[in-house]
A and B are shown apart, each in its own frame.
Chain A
Amino acid sequence: MAAPKPKKKTIRTIPQARTPMREQPPLVRATNFDEVTLGYSKEEALLEAERCLMCADQPCQRGCPVGIDIPAFIKKITDKNFHGAYDVITDTNLLPSVCGRVCPQESQCEGVCTVGETLEPVAIGRLERWVGDQAIAGGWANVPYIEPNGLRVGIVGSGPAGMACAADMAKAGCEVTVYEAFHTPGGVLKYGIPDFRLPNAVIDVEIDKLAQLGIKFECNTLVGRLFTVEQMVTEMGYHAVFIGTGAGYPSFMGIPGESLNGVLSANELLTRCNLMRARDFPAFDTPLAPGKRVAVIGAGNTAMDAMRVSLRLGAEKVMCIYRRTRAEAPARIEEIHHAGEEGVDFQWLTSPVEILGDVTKRVRAIRCIRMELGEPDASGRRRPVPVAGSEFEIEVDSVVYAIGTNANPILGQTSKLALDKRGYIATDESLATSIPGVYAGGDIVTGAATVIQAMGAGRKAARGMKAWLGLRDTESIYAEPGEAAEGPFGIHPQERNHARVRIA
């Protein structure tokens, strides 16, 4: 009997259990800012890659906001062609180490994975991160061949939306300059997301890759005030502009006591701790008065970050105050799980009514009221309603607001950009704004969302900008000449101009 042909993988033949990722133990990691999850080893990555069925449908690619060819990169991993896997990912996403860490895969690629219908889905995010980290460790750079086209593109904001747009425009041959108001590029990846979820060193490597594409970063530049968007497209000579400034104007509730000392936004806490390194005060000059008993209001990803940062800054007790239940909490399941493991006390169905201070105008307690879920509201979630007579006080010395942000007003104040009724920048389907040649995307258009959604918006705007600039066919991927040998007679199948001859 002949040797059996390698069988097609089925749901029964693949490794049944999702390969777990090693983590720092909760009580250890809650005392340091090192990364919580330690990533896969090569063996673990190979094992997990085996779990991909290579199904014909490939729903994962459609589930990815930037459309990474996920089965193709996993196939390269199983073939042990790790650099090849990196090449596949970077065809569409220049930041695999970032996205592998912070994307909400459970609601994107992994949420629609075919394996996930029966077993746990393939750990696509962990594999992407592993490939990205191999590239960092190996110093791989995937600098595509770029044909300069003489067009100049200005990008406002160096966060995920701006970076993704900048990468696409640079690859299309444009001369790209990215403006950043802070003294260092990265936007929310730097000031917002803490090091234990996304180390700054990883971001710097990824930004360096953008610089290798010829993208220039101009920091310490507040667009709108140093020069206007209109000036960019007129006297500064930019042929197209992308605005990705983020939402950034934190919301408060308007309850009594919010100006007491010890009340701050999650953005302020995170910026002081992460970007300004107040956690290393006094070696760094920015102060931060860390709370011993901290109440964080809200249950989104930012709230989880604020709580976990507070623990690491030495808080003895950190509470999450959220008016709905765990089921409605907007944070990723993994983040809530991690926060819980580290000792966060979740006060579900609880809403603050007043923050109480002492004579020195410092926070001493927060008065809350219990809630219950009533009828569904416009968002489809059951509306929380207060339970009469259930008010109670919690002793705290710090209150952190993480209940979302409003539109940043600077560009609205300084340009004629049309805004929507909430103050965000109004765009059409292609993300074009009311000023010709000016596009916008990310949180400043949609309101607060995720890193990968912002990157998706940056790429979508780049498509619009390329169409506006008359750049065509820039997304066809340049293939190494060596691969041409794969086709018949040395002709690459993607080559369009070879004659197809059918031989009877």
Chain B
Amino acid sequence: MAAPGQESGFEIVARKDFSDATYLLEVRHPMMARAARPGQFAIVMPHEHGERIPLTLADFDPAKGTVTFVIQAVGKTTREMQLEARAGSRLFAVVGPMGIPSHLGASKKVVCVGGGLGVAPTYPQARACKQAGAYVIGVVGFRNKALMFWEDKFRAVCDELIVCTDDGSAGIKGLVTAGIAQAIAKHADIDEVIAIGPPVMMKGCAEATRAKGIRTMVSLNPVMVDGTGMCGGCRVKVGESVKFACVDGPDFDGHQVDFDDLMARLARYRPEEKAALERWQDSCRLAGRTEVS
């Protein structure tokens, strides 16, 4: 990460920690804040030796000139950012918005489903649906109450909000699919379900709506390098065809997506990712830096 005060790079204006693994970064980028639409993502490269990671935009504020990412510290890059990013520090590269914006506004009654980290990028979708005049039912799922965030933001844009936790410590006990089932049971006229979260969760959501034939859009986040269609690393199977999530997506019809293929492809650099994380953690210990979880 570039040193604070340095001119190059993109300034982090705010940071907030939702849990010991999940954190929010608000980055100054007035042009992107103006151009961004729900469903789009950006690619972040924290420092010059870093990798380019795709992050779905969790919020964007044209008035403040900022874009917001909610990040889960899972691998080397995201943990390193968790350790080093703070208000005033800079990210080496941030490029976006990327991808085709979600097609919102046609549906009258929408269920916006966010699971875990996917709760964050679901927020701009719910907000846009509300602004377009739809009846918005929010379904947000977390492992437990301590990991919850943005409940207030969702309440502000949703007509109904269903909170699901794995252990029942908040809202209903169960997965987001239980929340979808509850919404479908109450409303017979749901036009669309928008689901964002881990692939296995989106797969579950697609299965939950398949029998009723409710249009279900999912936002895919496969491994990417450039994010501009150039490398083809993010290719996904959708129905009979192969699509590049970066330029043909990231939104696709959840009933058509081959999630098993997506999950297998997400695992393709796992040995290297594991080695990088272990090596980095060792170097942190040697340097006597704060122990990271």
Interface, chain A (partner B; CB < 8 A): 181-183, 191, 219-222, 225-227, 246, 248-250, 252, 254, 258-259, 261-262, 264-265, 267-268, 271-272, 276-277, 281-289, 361, 408-410, 413
Smallest beta-carbon distance A411→chain B, Å: 11
Interface residues on B, range: 35 or more
Given A227-B35, A284-B49, also A410-B247 (CB < 8 A): yes
CA distance in complex: A191, B76 (Å): 23
Query: Contact check: which of B51, B94, B100, B264 meets A286 at CB < 8 Å?
Result: B51
Sample (30) of A-B pairs whose CB atoms are under 8 Å apart: A183-B45, A183-B95, A220-B93, A222-B97, A222-B98, A225-B40, A225-B98, A226-B31, A249-B244, A252-B232, A254-B242, A259-B265, A262-B268, A265-B232, A272-B231, A276-B52, A276-B225, A281-B276, A282-B276, A282-B279, A282-B280, A284-B50, A287-B269, A289-B271, A361-B264, A409-B229, A409-B247, A410-B228, A410-B229, A410-B247
Smallest beta-carbon distance A9→chain B, Å: 48
Contact B267 A250 (CB under 8 A): no
> Which A residues touch B15, using CB under 8 A?
none
Contact A289 B264 (CB under 8 A): no
> Which B residues touch A276, using CB under 8 A?
51-52, 225
Contact A287 B265 (CB under 8 A): no
Given contact pairs A183-B93, A264-B231, A285-B51, a sample of 12 additional A-B residue pairs in the complex whose CB atoms are under 8 Å apart: A183-B92, A248-B229, A259-B235, A259-B242, A271-B231, A282-B280, A284-B49, A284-B50, A285-B276, A287-B269, A289-B268, A408-B230
Given A183-B92, A268-B225, A283-B49, also A225-B97 (CB < 8 A): yes
Contact B35 A225 (CB under 8 A): yes
Contact A268 B232 (CB under 8 A): yes
Given A183-B93, A268-B231, A271-B231, also A287-B273 (CB < 8 A): yes
Contact B97 A226 (CB under 8 A): yes
CA distance in complex: A227, B53 (Å): 22
CA distance in complex: A181, B52 (Å): 12
Contact A249 B247 (CB under 8 A): yes
Contact A264 B51 (CB under 8 A): no
CA distance in complex: A226, B50 (Å): 23
> Which A residues touch B231, using CB under 8 A?
250, 264-265, 267-268, 271-272
> Which B residues touch A254, using CB under 8 A?
242
Contact B226 A181 (CB under 8 A): yes
Given A225-B96, A409-B248, A410-B247, also A281-B272 (CB < 8 A): yes
The 3 closest A-B pairs by CB, nearest first: A287-B272, A261-B268, A268-B231
Given A183-B92, A276-B51, A285-B76, also A259-B232 (CB < 8 A): no
Query: Contact check: which of B99, B230, B264 meets A249 at CB < 8 Å?
Result: B230
For residue B237, CB closer than 8 A to chain A, the reply is yes
For residue B174, CB closer than 8 A to chain A, the reply is no
Contact A258 B96 (CB under 8 A): no
For residue B4, CB closer than 8 A to chain A, the reply is no
> Which B residues touch A258, using CB under 8 A?
242
For residue B284, CB closer than 8 A to chain A, the reply is no
Q: Identify the closest chain B residue to A188 (Cβ).
A: B230
Q: Identify the closest chain A residue to B8 (Cβ).
A: A219
Residue from A261, A268, A272 having most chain B Cβ neighbours under 10 A: A268
CA distance in complex: A282, B272 (Å): 9
